[in-house]
Chains A and B, each alone.
Chain A
Amino acid sequence: MLAQLHQVEQSINQVILGKQQQIRLALCCLLAEGHLLLEDLPGLGKTTLAHALANSLGLSYRRVQFTSDLLPADLTGISIYDARSQQFHFQPGPVFSQVLLADEINRASPKTQSALLEAMEERQVTSDGETRPLPSPFFVIATQNPLFHAGTSALPESQLDRFLMRLSLGFPEREAEHQLLVDDSKGSRLQFLTQQLDSATLKNLQQQLSEVKVTDAVIDYLLSLVDASRNRNDMLPLSPRASKALLRASKAHALLAGRDFTTADDIQQVFPSVAEHRLDPRSSAASHSLSQILLEQTDCPL
């Protein structure tokens, strides 16, 4: 099962060249059943990565291009009057899929962004006074452009907090880009995606995740990191939701590394991606300055 996951990881590595670490973190995020936010300049491969992830997990997925005139109902669905039966029928929107690819999420109006809020946290949608559950599993993989770009409105802190991780791909290495250009004539890179998980395997993996061991010592270390953020003025404090997210992501990281126990290293590896956007919502995803400060200054006795 874990071998299958590693094969998936490798095939995604064929699609996005030279970004092993980010791809591993992205897989961690999905394994931990968390939503993923990809932030980058346009053209760095966020959408490709989102597609590759959604594809390789073997889940049904819908893509929505967010624009400034996108309305909440465009996401959640609307009730349409059926003249023949003289009744309203609910027409489910793209949110009713296992993976929602929200492209350029910060181009939408805050109203539409907040419509996603309920869906992401509660895994359900309320429309016309009726609450409908979303399919399970349900992931949102969102991409966004950096905030300084024209026509963007920042995601509120509350919504950022709902993303387990924020990742940035950054520019590729020279050799990777060379390879990219060589392969370009062959068509879409998504064709390199050969491996897919089936939903049963994914479920099993998530089951395994709950059995990954976390000792008190590791939790103590995690808490001292979180505590450190709460005693400072130069950053937002990390919420208990953040510490839960941190723990889940660390466990997923341990599982991906083929271990059944979590180490301090797992925490340190996932910490920047999990914490940075919560510590400073206005930061760019490429910088990890605040989380690095916390990691360096918090004593790790382990």
Chain B
Amino acid sequence: MLILLSRQAILSFYAILVSLIVLLHQALPLWYSAILLLLLLYRWPLQQNDKVNKLKRVNVIAALILLLLLVAIKQSGVFHFMLQILLLSAVSRLVLIRQRHDSHQLLWVLYFLLACCFIFYQSMLVSLVILALLMFTLYCHYRLYASKQYQLQMLQLVKAILITLPVWISLFLLFPRLQPLWRIPTAEAAVTGLADTLDPGSIENLVQSDKLAFRAIFTDPPPPRQQLYWRAKVYEDFDGRSWTVNQRFERRQSANRQPENTNAEQWINYQVIAEVSNQRSLFALGQPVQYASVVRPTAAYLVEARRPVTQRLSYQLSSMLTPVPADTTFEQQLNSRTVNANPETRELASQLAAKSRSTAELIELISTMFRQQPFYYSLNPPRLGANSIDAFLFDSRTGFCSHYASATAVLLREAGVAARVVGGYQGGVWHEEQQYLEVRQREAHAWVEYYDQGSWQRFDPTAVIAPERVLAGLEAVLMADEQNQLQANWRRFSALNYLSQQLLHLDYYWSVWILSFDENNQQNLWQQLKAARNILILLASVLLLTAMIWWLWRFRRKPDNNAAAVRLINKYFSKVLSKKAAGQHFSQFATVLKKHNPEYNSELAHIDQLYQRALFAEDQQALVQLADYLKQHRHSLKKLTWPE
């Protein structure tokens, strides 16, 4: 049967496809998005009645575009290529579409593309947008195939969704997460968070970002703030100005590295939900002793993900807050190398080394130097030249955490102590009500680890120069104008601030309950279900019994075989209809009613007319109109009287 699509339907498809192109922009090169939009303009639905585009022409255009895509496949990768082809097919279908029959494939491709959007977005807000689009597509689908009678009834759609909701939920809870299928392909995107190179100045830029780095949930009360040093990267190589992670040796470590002290009472168990960073390095406190399967240990007791983190990653860890033990002797050599730069620093280091008898004393001397000499902590330190450490220690004396860490590490190395700079996050905002620690890029920090007595001791020079940074957070240390620099303009309005905070909390629950639901949770759920088997069986049988009783009761009640129009009349005229003589039909009855209620003459006449068309001519439109009219006038219908 040939059923032409209404302009409204085609416009809806346009809207969905354009939003898809916007949503999937990460997978599409700019030129390709432009071509797709041009192709959509090629047949603008507002002039629907002109002749349809030639199939052949569109095929040729699509083939040409496909060729271009094939050429660009190296750049985009296979996965993006598949998405591009799907979008191309959807767009060319839409350009040609005319009948309802044609929209069939288009709709399924749209569903699939919408599902693909979840690969790129995991945040709650975008998910809601995608879900809304999905609902809209469903609604369009429904409107295409629903009979005229139900076309106006949004309520039906809502009902249908409510009925299928348990299926959605159980699919989410029970659908097996088959690994090769469940894996989301890696999309190439900009790396965020701490980089593999630590310049003087890179952390200052980072802390001005309001973005979330990760969240942490502790099984026990969280450790005090000054203990919360989240290690992410260890920088070993120093070139006189900046620090880099050494890439030349295999950092991977076997997972069965057993801690010597296995007293589980000192362990801190926590879960980290890391935001997208597109790099592997993750965050851990102190010395991690137990790892979730999604992460693996690397050198220097760091943890990393098995793949770059392209979507939120949740992992469980147990740590001891003790100094990190030495991994290899090689590690010490690596961290004792000095470079031929910063001569004044070298001079100072040898003086300090001469004055001290142990490493601890040397650390004490450095601390004293920072504390007693006029050193300043600032978000906007002056720019430093090639011999950055010399310039900082003897000239500007104003720096941020990375300056102090880097200067300390160089001093220690020059004094013959193995030392390295550790990058990570310090502190975080504890949300008491929601029971989680929120760590933003704001908390980015750098400190020093030096080798002493078989393990790597932590030394944070920032704690010496600006102890509030560690105890209360960065904002406590800075001057007012520097604080302003940290805050985006809109954050100064407390209402907006509050709103964004609530949104973040919602987002937190979203990631805890929805995104981090994996096989383990599934297995736990099964186990819990198994444990509660008896109660569940009881519940199921009770449900079954009530359903059966309800069914029997329904069965015994006389089924309402009346036509829809008759049911409507029975519903709205229930009060006076009992007075109707058995042999009277409604039109006769309405005539009598009119006589008794002359003020409703026109309403009753209109109802009668619609009723007759709806019932005897089976006119669906009249039925809808009747239902609407009765609903509108239900109050006046209640006032109809019948003389006793």
Residue among B583, B584, B585, B617 with most chain A CB within 10 A: B583
> B586 within 8 Å of A by Cβ?
yes
B515 close to chain A: CB less than 8 A: no
A95 to B127, CA, bound (A): 85
A213 — which chain B residues lie within 8 A by C-beta?
616-618
Q: Is the CB of B585 within 8 A of A298?
A: no
By the criterion CB–CB under 8 Å, are A297 and B582 in contact?
A: yes
Give chain A interface residues in 182-238, CB to chain B under 8 Å.
213, 215-218
Q: With A265-B588, A301-B562, A301-B566 in contact, is A218–B616 under 8 Å at CB? A: yes
Task: Please tell me if the beta carbons of A296 and B616 are within 8 angstroms of each other in the complex.
Answer: no
Rounded to whole Å, the gap between the CB of A200 and the closest CB of chain B is 27
Residues of chain B within 8 A (CB-CB) of A300 are: 582-585
A-B contact pairs, 6 of them (CB 8 A): A215-B563, A215-B615, A261-B617, A299-B582, A300-B582, A302-B586
Which of chain B's residues 347-390 have a Cβ closer than 8 Å to chain A?
none
Q: Tell me the minimal C-beta distance from A101 to chain B in angstroms.
A: 36
Closest chain A CB from B17 CB (angstroms): 43
- CB nearest neighbor in A for B613: A261
Closest chain B CB from A21 CB (angstroms): 16
The reply to whether B566 and A302 contact each other, CB–CB distance below 8 Å, is: yes
CB distance from B236 to the nearest CB of A (A): 87
B612 contacts chain A at the CB level, 8 A cutoff: yes
The 0/1 profile, CB within 8 Å of B marked 1, for residues 254-298 of chain A is: 000001111111001000000000000000000000000001111
State A260–B612 Cα separation when bound (angstroms): 12
Shortest B267–chain A CB gap in Å is 76
Smallest CB–CB gap between B6 and chain A, Å?
27
Residues of A within 8 A of B613 (CB): 261
Contact with B585, one of A216, A259, A268 (Cβ below 8 angstroms): A268
Cα A299 to Cα B580 with chains together (Å): 10
A247 to chain B, nearest CB (A): 14
Contact present for B585 and A265 (CB under 8 Å): yes
Tell me the bound Cα distance from A166 to B302 in angstroms: 105
Cβ–Cβ contact B615 & A302, under 8 A: yes
Kindly state whether residue B60 has any CB partner on chain A within 8 Å. no
For residue A263, which residues in chain B have a CB less than 8 angstroms away from its CB?
Answer: 585, 587, 612, 615-616
B531 on interface, CB distance cutoff 8 Å: no
Interface centre among B581, B586, B587, B616 (most CB of A within 10 A): B616
Decide yes or no: A262 and B616 within 8 Å by CB, A215-B563, A301-B566 being known contacts.
yes
Query: Which chain A residues border B582 with CB–CB below 8 Å?
Result: 296-300
For the complex, what is the distance from the CA of A217 to the CA of B562, rounded to whole Å?
Answer: 8
Query: A295 touches which one: B583, B586, B617 (CB < 8 A)?
Result: B583
A217 contacts across to B, CB distance below 8 A:
562-563, 566, 615-616
Chain A interface category by residue count: 20 to 34
Interface residues on B, range: 10 to 19
Q: Quick check: A260 and B617 within 8 Å, CB to CB?
A: yes
Is A215 within 8 A of B585, CB to CB?
A: no
For B581, list chain A residues within 8 Å (CB). Answer: 296
Q: Is the CB of A298 within 8 A of B583?
A: yes
Q: Which residues of B contact A298 (CB under 8 A)?
A: 582-583
Chain B positions within 8 Å of A297 at CB level: 582-583
Q: Mark B584-601, 1 if CB is under 8 A from A, else 0.
A: 111110000000000000
B618 touches A264 (CB 8 A): no
Per-position contact with B for A163-186: 1 when CB-CB < 8 Å, else 0?
000000000000000000000000
**Which residue of chain B has the shortest Cβ distance to A294 in the bound complex?**
B583
CB distance from A248 to the nearest CB of B (A): 17
- Compute how far the CA of A263 lies from the CA of B586 in the bound complex, rounded to whole angstroms: 11
- In the complex, per-residue mask of B327-361: 1 if CB is within 8 Å of any chain A CB, else 0: 00000000000000000000000000000000000
Which residue, of A218, A261, A298, A301, has the highest number of chain B Cβ atoms within 10 A? A301
Chain A residue with Cβ nearest B581: A296
Q: How many A-B residue pairs have CB under 8 A?
A: 56
Task: Give Cα A265 to B585, complex, Å.
Answer: 7
CB–CB A264/B585 < 8 A: yes
For the complex of A and B, the 8 pairs showing the least CB-CB separation, nearest first, are A261-B617, A264-B585, A296-B583, A261-B616, A263-B616, A299-B582, A300-B585, A295-B583
Residues of B596-623 contacting chain A, CB below 8 A: 612-613, 615-618
Which residues on the A side are within 8 Å of B612 (C-beta)? Answer: 261, 263
A8 CA / B141 CA spacing, docked (Å): 53
Assembly CA distance A227 to B587 (angstroms): 23
CA distance A216 to B618 in the complex (A): 10
Contacts of A262 in B (CB 8 A): 616
CB distance from B604 to the nearest CB of A (A): 16
1/0 contact string of B562-590 vs chain A (CB within 8 Å): 11001000000000000001111111100
CA distance A259 to B617 in the complex (A): 9
B566 to chain A: which residues have CB within 8 Å? 217, 301-302
With a cutoff of 8 Å between Cβ atoms, the chain A residues found around residue B585 in the complex are 263-265, 268, 300, 302
CB-CB nearest in chain B for A293: B583
Q: How far is the CA of A240 from the CA of B233 in the complex (A)?
A: 95
User: For the complex, what is the distance from the CA of A249 to the CA of B238, rounded to whole Å?
Assistant: 106
A300 to B587, CA, bound (A): 11
Per-residue contact bits, chain B 614-637, to A (CB 8 Å; 1 contact, 0 not)? 011110000000000000000000
Q: Which residues of B contact A215 (CB under 8 A)?
A: 563, 615-618
CB neighbours (8 Å) of B617 from chain A are: 213, 215, 259-261
State the Cβ distance, A298 to closest chain B Cβ, in Å: 6
A261: nearest residue on chain B (CB-CB)? B617
The residue on A at minimum CB distance from B580 is A300
Contacts of B563 in A (CB 8 A): 215-217
Please indicate the chain B residues that have their CB under 8 angstroms from the CB of A264 in the complex.
585, 587, 616
Q: Mark B377-418, 1 if CB is under 8 A from A, else 0.
A: 000000000000000000000000000000000000000000
Q: How many angstroms between the C-alpha atoms of A297 and B583 in the bound complex?
A: 6
Closest to B611 in A: A302
Residue of A nearest to B583 (CB): A296
Given A215-B563, A300-B582, 15 further pairs, Cβ under 8 A = A213-B618, A217-B563, A217-B566, A217-B615, A218-B616, A259-B617, A261-B612, A262-B616, A263-B616, A265-B587, A296-B582, A300-B584, A300-B585, A302-B566, A302-B585
Separation of A298 and B582 alpha carbons in the complex (Å): 6
Chain A residues with CB under 8 A of B562: 217, 301
C-alpha spacing A218/B616, complex, angstroms: 7
For A216, list chain B residues within 8 Å (CB).
563
Alpha-carbon separation in the docked complex, A301 to B569 (Å): 10
Cα distance, A281 to B563, chains bound together (Å): 37
The smallest C-beta distance from B568 to any residue of chain A, in angstroms, reads 13
Chain B residues in 8 Å Cβ range of A296: 581-583
Bound Cα distance from A218 to B562, whole angstroms? 11
Roughly how many angstroms separate A260 CA and B617 CA in the complex, as a whole number? 8
Alpha-carbon separation in the docked complex, A261 to B586 (Å): 16
Least CB distance from B316 to A in Å reads 66
Name the residue on B nearest A254 (C-beta).
Answer: B616
The CA of A255 and the CA of B278, in the complex, are separated in Å by 77
- State the CA gap A60–B522 with chains docked (Å): 89
CB closest residue in chain B, given A260: B617
For B616, the chain A residues whose CB sits under 8 A away are: 213, 215, 217-218, 261-264
A301 CB contacts on chain B under 8 angstroms: 562, 566
Task: Tell me the minimal C-beta distance from B565 to chain A in angstroms.
Answer: 9
Q: Given the complex of chains A and B, what is the CA–CA distance between A215 and B584 in angstroms?
A: 18
Chain A, 85-141, CB within 8 A of any chain B CB: none
Give the complex CA separation of A213 and B614 in angstroms: 12
Q: Which residues of A contact B587 (CB under 8 A)?
A: 263-265
Chain A hits for B583, CB < 8 A: 268, 295-300
